[in-house]
Amino acid sequence: MIFAANWKMHLAPDEARSYAHRFLDGFSPRAGSHYWFFPPAVSLEATALAFRGLPEIRVGAQDVYWEPKGAFTGATSVPLAAGAGAAIALVGHSERRHVFGETDLDTARKVRALLAGSMTPLLCVGEKLEERESGATEAVVLRQVGAVADGLDPAALDQIVIAYEPVWAIGTGKNATPQDAAAVHRTIRRDLRSRGAKSPRILYGGSVNLANADTLLAEEEINGVLVGGASLDPDGWRRLIELGSRK
165 is catalytic: yes
Torsion of CA 114, 49, 213, 1, to 10 degrees: 60
Per the CB < 8 A criterion, the answer to whether 135 and 129 are in contact is no
93 is catalytic: yes
Catalytic residue of the set 45, 95, 127, 165: 165
Catalytic residue of the set 34, 93, 131, 185: 93
| Residues catalogued as catalytic | 93, 165
